[in-house]
Structure 1
């Protein structure tokens, strides 16, 4: 009986030690399948252009980062901040990206350039944050190199640029609503993260060195 209980405790301990790695593997498989499926659909439709090339590269970086990321040190226990974080992360799926949907021809190339720039910024931010990447709000190793030398939330800045580009390429009222809501939630996520991380001495020191959130000299 005691041996059975000991075996069960060891099994529970094994799971508790590795649950974050298991979550990473599940996310890698789910998001990887989604990225491959979307990329294949764009290829089949003849729309695999520079945007899709950049997006594929960014997705590959993101998948590697998810698989390699380190366990968090402490996680935000509030339901509302985590809801904000998850909503912001998945809000891009609400955007209408079909070509020719209420598109203003004069704005299309500008929008495409902004979208490409946003994808590049997100990819560089992923490389900068590396194994400290997280979907939920949590305390991890503070990254201060790469794009984090200039702003504290470069990935969210890239996401905002992407949304502005999608709106100019596909100007319709559905995208206006979706992008406004999505952008607000990304800003709220940054606020929630700042409040949670302000208890961390290392992050407070970093915050004193890097003043701006999204854009150097502006915000």
Structure 2
């Protein structure tokens, strides 16, 4: 367990923001190079998607009711950083596949933004209780933001298939599932969240998980 001093949550939170900002800067540099060489529209969509994550991390409110488990922080770091390490593969997909993937990614982006706007400054990466939100897409699944991430990741991977990208997104998906379970373990201490769980059955994909 990390030492639960009154300063620890804030220091850990600030450290997380700095790391994600640095990784996103690296991603922007990589993707801009691809865009200048004639990259696909999915490159721009992914940058907007991951940029939205960073913006909400930077403006979220601080909370002391956050997990101090090293495993939860590791899951948050891996889940947030792994998607920032993918690279455009430049395989020259046909127009139909590009259009399909762009639509899938835009739909995923809309789901993400709807979830983020519902959370507003309650958004976070590490398991924490920043207030229970039950409106918008949270009426459908308990973790719609992660569902949106999954859609954008699948769309990008179909256009940019590579062993590295597949590995990065596989690691990310496993970490996201771990984050979901960690978040629910912490939030289940809140009676409002238990009521929410009773109303919304599925975590990520309706009828599946």
Distance 1:178 1:32, change over 3 A: closer
For each residue in 1:29-75, what CA deviation from the matched residue of structure 2 results, as whole angstroms up to 9, or x when unmatched?
6477557645644553343736515743772x445433432222411
1:90 matched to 2:45:
no
Residue 55 of structure 1 contacts residue 119 of structure 1 at CA under 8 Å; is this kept in 2?
no
Gap change, CA 1:31 and 1:87, over 3 Å in 2 = closer
Q: 2:3: which partner in 1?
A: none
**Alpha-carbon offset, residue 104 of structure 1:** 7.6
Separation in 2 of the partners of 1:93 and 1:24?
14
Q: Is the 8 A contact 2:50 2:84 kept in 1?
A: no
For structure 1, the residue ranges without an aligned partner over 5 or more in a row are 1-12
Equivalent in the alignment of 2:48: 56
Larger Rg: 1
Matches of 1:190 and 1:204 in 2, distance apart? 15
Say whether 1:113 aligns with 2:103.
yes
Matched, 1:173 2:163: yes
- For residues 55-74 of structure 1, what are the structure 2 equivalents within 5 Å? 55-56=47-48, 59=51, 61-74=52-65
1:89: Cα distance to partner? 1.0
TM-score by length of 1: 0.74
- Mapped partners of 1:178, 1:19: distance in 2: 27
Question: For each residue in 1:95-133, what CA deviation from the matched residue of structure 2 results, as whole angstroms up to 9, or x when unmatched?
Answer: 3323217x5876444333322322222222221211101
CA distance in 2, matches of 1:177, 1:21: 27
Q: What is the rounded CA distance, in whole Å, between the counterparts of 1:123 and 1:176 in structure 2?
A: 24
Out of 123, 139, 153, the position equivalent to 1:133 is 123
Question: What SS does the corresponding residue of 1:110 show, helix, strand or coil?
Answer: helix
- Structure 2 residues without counterparts, runs of 5 or longer: 1-5
Q: Relative to structure 1, is the Cα distance of residues 39 and 124 closer, same or farther in structure 2, using a 3 angstrom cutoff?
A: farther
CA contact (8 A) 1:142 1:202 kept: yes
CA separation of 1:123 and 1:190: change in aligned 2, threshold 3 A: same
Counterpart in the other structure of 2:37: 45
Q: Alpha carbons of 1:180 and 1:35: their partners in 2 closer, same or farther (altered >3 Å)?
A: closer
